[in-house]
Structure 1
């Protein structure tokens, strides 16, 4: 390819589009821990403790809620960040998909 295209060697890949890349002799490891930490910090949740489940059991949310509306732009930004995080964290896929249903009209009880 170098004969056909102007190329330069940028070294080994370590970080690309929010995905950390660690290259060993026998393995290639991908992760998003830095992205997840920045997402938590940006939304004031950096000090929150981790939990075993990403969503409460038998949680019932409804669009017919009477609670106050929240900032839709902020809510959509958070959900967008979580949806990108799902690529590396399939354990949160269901919870993120569930709360994504309320992006049009988010309420305080979500």
Structure 2
């Protein structure tokens, strides 16, 4: 199974393309796109809005941070975290999973790009206070 997302300003062109594809391939039309790869799609007459709030909420819950208050700056300014540290180790698999989730989320949230890059430095040896 393959998915195909068709976009065009003209509905007639989209319908024509779908007819041509249906003549060559067995396919089904799922209608307007509303959710794809954890991205919610809202289509208006003049705009298309993409969002990942549900994905971000799941990521916050998985990292036990759902109850934290949001902040303007996602990381303390000029924060220095040493690679060598005596703090207790954390679950590396969970840490790496959260970092992977942030990597996906950063495509829509550029404001977390620097922080995500910074914390990903510790993927090989995560500690509690990193």
**TM-score scaled by length of structure 1:** 0.95
Structure 2: which 5+ residue stretches go unaligned? Answer: 1-20
Counterpart position of 1:53:
73
**Aligned Cα RMSD in Å?**
0.9
> In the alignment, is residue 12 of structure 1 matched against residue 40 of structure 2?
no
Q: How many residues align?
A: 110
Q: Distance in 1 between matches of 2:129 and 2:63?
A: 17
Q: Distance in 2 between matches of 1:6 and 1:12?
A: 19
| Deviating 4+ runs (over 6 angstroms) | none
Structure ID, larger Rg: 2
**TM-score scaled by length of structure 2:** 0.81
Q: Which has the higher helix share?
A: 2
Structure 1: which 5+ residue stretches go unaligned? Answer: none
- Aligned with residue 31 of structure 1, among 43, 46, 51: 51
Q: Give the superposition deviation at 1:43.
A: 2.1
Cα-to-partner distance string for 1:17-76 (whole Å, 9 max, x where unaligned): 111111111111111011001111222211110001011011001111121111111110
Q: Give the superposition deviation at 1:108.
A: 1.1
